Amino acid sequence: MQFNDLINGFPVLTVTGLTQGAIYALVALGYTLVYGVLRLINFAHSDVFMIGTFGAIWTWSAFGFDANSPRPSLGEALGLIALAIVVAALLCGFFAMLVEVTAYRPLRARNAPPLAFLITAIGASFVLSEGMGAFTNRRQFGVPAMLPTDPVVNLGGWSLTPLQISTLVVAVVAMVALDWFVRRTRFGRGIRAVAQDSNTAALMGVNKNRVILLVFLIGGLMAGVAAVMSDMKAASTRFNVGFLIGLKAFAAAVLGGIGNLRGAALGGILLGLVENYGSAVFGTNFRDFIGFLVLILLLMFRPTGLLGESLGRARA
């Protein structure tokens, strides 16, 4: 155990942990929204995220940028990143709604048992991942360098690169906007009403299917934002890139309290930090092991997660 590595590298480990945790948190929001409304674990969400990573690469490729291209100017890079976020978010939103309409809605219409939903979710995940694998010949694709790698902020031992700053800013803005939307808008009240009691909400005039479709759309939009940030951080993507990130994002949602938006955000950030701190102490080979071990230990003492408040009971 190398505690000196943790102490000496604490600032760097914290910044990188927050950056990775922000990506987990954005993906976790999709899991927690769907679970909060449908009590369904949407395993296909990780592959919706994967499609977003390709959407960003295709967007940059359309403007002549690939893994071997020189880095664009800062202004041009920010414009390309913003465009990639829009394209990836819309693409993820579309596929998320497609999964809901083609896979889950027919099951709800037939009052299928929960096991049927679970198997369908796993099947939809494989359809998306293997479909993209066939489309891309299972190749790995590099990501063009968009932002400088040198730190632009240095305060003592703390330093931030443009990528880390952009990831944290975009993630915070997206999470705050979603929290406001769910808690303060008419559509958000509809989401919370269906999450609390869908039958009563229907009697009050809430269109359940429309609300569920909106939930899948929002989850897809968040996954698209995370996909662009993940692309630039990992510098590559392939058809199965969503598997491990999806597992960790789901773990983050459970860690914070499944069905709780703020819990998903908190869980993602904590998971990113725990992974980084643990890898410094025990070695990078234990990175994934430590994150899931902490999740198991926490759930032993707090089964509902850190916050544990359901979406239906979120305060207005």
Gap between the Cα atoms of 195 and 188, Å rounded: 11
Q: Using one digit for the tens of pLDDT, what is the confidence trace for 15-56?
A: 999 999 999 999 999 999 999 999 999 999 999 999 999 999
Extract the tokens encoding 40.
């369904």
Q: Using one digit for the tens of pLDDT, what is the confidence trace for 210-239?
A: 999 999 999 999 999 999 999 999 999 999
Task: Report the b/e string of 132-160 with b at 16+ CB within 10 A.
Answer: bbeeeeeeebebbbbbeeeeeeeeeeeeb
Please check whether residue 30 lies inside any domain of the structure: yes
Please check whether residue 147 lies inside any domain of the structure: no
Q: Using one digit for the tens of pLDDT, what is the confidence trace for 269-293?
A: 999 999 999 999 988 888 889 888 9
Gap between the Cα atoms of 83 and 8, Å rounded: 38
Please check whether residue 222 lies inside any domain of the structure: yes
CATH code of 213's domain: 1.10.3470
Contact 286, 278 (CB under 8 A): yes
Q: Using one digit for the tens of pLDDT, what is the confidence trace for 85-114?
A: 999 999 999 999 999 999 999 999 999 999
The predicted pLDDT at position 315 comes to 42
Range of the domain at 259: 3-136+160-301
Please check whether residue 145 lies inside any domain of the structure: no
Number of domains into which the chain is organized = 1
* pLDDT over 90 (residue 4): no
Please check whether residue 146 lies inside any domain of the structure: no
Please check whether residue 177 lies inside any domain of the structure: yes
Q: What percent of the chain has pLDDT over 70?
A: 97
Please check whether residue 178 lies inside any domain of the structure: yes
Gap between the Cα atoms of 314 and 298, Å rounded: 23
